[in-house]
Amino acid sequence: ESRAFGQDATVAGFDWGSYLEKSGYLAAPLSCFRHAPLCAQWEDIYVGLKVEVLNTHTALPSKVYWIATVVRLAGYKALLRYEGFEDDDSCDLWCNLGTADVHPIGWCAVNSKLLVPPQEVHQKIKDWKSYLMERLVGAHTLPVDFHVKMADSMRCPFRQGVRLEVVDRSQVSRTRYAVVDTIIGGRLRLLYEDGGLGASGEVLSDFWCHMWSSLVHPVGWSERVGHTIKETDKNVNMSSHPAFRKVLQDSVPNQFKKLRTVYMGDTFFEEGMKLEAIDPLNLGNICVASVRKVLLDGYIMVGIDGVEIGDGSDWFCYHASSHAILPVGYCQNNNIILTLPPGYVQESFTWPKYLEEMGAVAAPRRLFNTDAVGHGFTAGMKIEAVDLMEPRLVCVATVRRCVGRLLLLHFDGWEPEFDQWVDCQSPEIYPVGWCEITGYQLQPPIGPE
């Protein structure tokens, strides 16, 4: 699948450890990412922990290990210092704690591997047994089943050949039937059922998203809530593609993330109500918008004021609990520049005047999910984030701003016009080192920082 990606950070020589050290930035802690593997267990991982790790400073022909201490954490990555080096950082190494060559103390003895000190300190300590006893007794190490738990937490309820409904990237107001092709770290490569194959069998139309994305739904969802769905063009034959060769299986609701329940009583969104919304086609902009249609189960269709084509094909479906719809005045209250409809200027635009002019009312503030959540992100933190406009790409990114539950993400090396607003609980953002543990390709920063 590598041809489907852009650049490969490893091949390009990108290394998170030296990148963080050079920039002086912090990585967002793992506890910020509830959907990330081992998030719940990561509170047991901290500076001072002892591990057994591959010894890369030895002339021995066989693979040997040595004991090291975690001296710094950055997402899944840890800066380790071999025992015996004390305050000397010359042989410190960045390791991904989720990868195979980092183990709990005791692993080597159980697996008949030898612990051998690095050449630099081998002769420095005369009595290694006493030295290690002093350093290890009463210290903490990884749980024995650390890697088993890691594997368990990466299980996915989907498999190749599962059918679902997903937003149509060529017309965002409708959904389309798609089939799961590839799964990497819970990210699904979806092939539209009538996406078509090129002359050499290549897929002409696909979509990537996390299995917990709000853009994917079980088969039958569109009909149930009243969303438009494109019927599959039966003339397009995909049967030569591996994902379509098996008996396809329809997905069911319990394979998807359950959204917060909303009550659509007398006081719900109504057609014509005004709000502020993240532009689905320009995710760095929060725009003046309108409710265009109310669906069932708490979903609404929203249009961006002043730029609509007029046939509804650019409306976008949001759940009432979505972070991407905001009450009028949200931008002003949070010092964000609101993107106005053409013909309006920042100096003279006010919501009361606009509402009067349009003969519209603002959607009631209580309908929005703007509850503050203690997410733990702060500006300047580094993460791995999906470019939602090109969702197959997971990129090196920085949290530029935190406003309530919204994060403004900057893709390192790219112009600010590519920045994107995301929810702090978005499943499309990951801790540093996530790509390495899942085998997903990471896009390195473009050009010098």
- List the interface residues with other proteins, window 257-296 (CB under 8 A): none
Q: Find the angle CA(55)-CA(59)-CA(61) to the nearest 5 degrees.
A: 85
As measured in angstroms, the least distance from the Cβ of 142 to other proteins is 7
Q: Which is nearer to other proteins, 44 or 390 (CB)?
A: 44
Pick from 98, 104, 103, 94: nearest CA to 71: 94
> Is residue 141 a contact residue for other proteins (CB under 8 A)?
yes
> Is residue 129 a contact residue for other proteins (CB under 8 A)?
yes
Q: Which residues pair with 197 in a beta bridge?
A: 203
Per-residue contact flags (x/-) with other proteins for residues 16 to 55, judged by CB under 8 A:
-------------------------x-xx-----x-----
Q: CA-CA distance, 228 to 177, in Å (whole number)?
A: 12
Pick from 338, 330, 324: nearest CA to 428: 324
Q: Which is nearer to other proteins, 11 or 139 (CB)?
A: 139
Q: CA-CA distance, 335 to 81, in Å (whole number)?
A: 44
> Is residue 73 a contact residue for other proteins (CB under 8 A)?
no
> Is residue 140 a contact residue for other proteins (CB under 8 A)?
yes
Residue from 71, 136, 259, 389 touching other proteins (CB under 8 A): that is 136
Residue from 80, 142, 166, 383 touching other proteins (CB under 8 A): that is 142
Is 50 in contact with 105 (CB distance < 8 Å)? yes
| CA quadruple 374, 98, 439, 39: dihedral, nearest 10 | -20
As measured in angstroms, the least distance from the Cβ of 49 to other proteins is 10
- Residue 346 Cα distances to 205, 300, 337, 341, 408, angstroms: 39, 28, 8, 10, 21
End-to-end CA distance of the chain: 29
> Is residue 317 a contact residue for other proteins (CB under 8 A)?
no
- List the interface residues with other proteins, window 386-445 (CB under 8 A): none
Per-residue contact flags (x/-) with other proteins for residues 82 to 121, judged by CB under 8 A:
----------------------xxx-xxx--xxxxx----
Q: Which is nearer to other proteins, 55 or 339 (CB)?
A: 55
In sequence order, which residues have a C-beta less than 8 Å from that of residue 448 and are 6 or more positions away? 413
Is 314 in contact with 303 (CB distance < 8 Å)? yes
CB atoms within 10 A of CB 193: 19
| Residue 17, helix vs strand vs coil | helix
Q: Which is nearer to other proteins, 143 or 226 (CB)?
A: 143
Q: Which is nearer to other proteins, 130 or 350 (CB)?
A: 130
Q: CA-CA distance, 306 to 304, in Å (whole number)?
A: 7
As measured in angstroms, the least distance from the Cβ of 118 to other proteins is 13
As measured in angstroms, the least distance from the Cβ of 171 to other proteins is 49
Q: Which is nearer to other proteins, 145 or 356 (CB)?
A: 145
Residue from 53, 80, 121, 132 touching other proteins (CB under 8 A): that is 132
Q: Which is nearer to other proteins, 139 or 296 (CB)?
A: 139
Q: CA-CA distance, 401 to 429, in Å (whole number)?
A: 15
Q: Using CB under 8 A, which of the segments 85-93, 134-142, 157-165, 396-404 binds other proteins?
A: 134-142
Is 120 in contact with 57 (CB distance < 8 Å)? yes
> Is residue 138 a contact residue for other proteins (CB under 8 A)?
yes
> Is residue 143 a contact residue for other proteins (CB under 8 A)?
yes
Q: Using CB under 8 A, which of the segments 143-151, 196-204, 228-236, 302-310 binds other proteins?
A: 143-151
As measured in angstroms, the least distance from the Cβ of 56 to other proteins is 17
Q: CA-CA distance, 191 to 176, in Å (whole number)?
A: 10
Q: Which is nearer to other proteins, 126 or 366 (CB)?
A: 126
Q: Which residues pair with 184 in a beta bridge?
A: 187
Size of the site for other proteins (CB under 8 A): 30
Is 210 in contact with 170 (CB distance < 8 Å)? no
Residues that bind other proteins (CB under 8 A): 41, 43-44, 50, 67, 104-106, 108-110, 113-117, 128-129, 132-133, 136-145
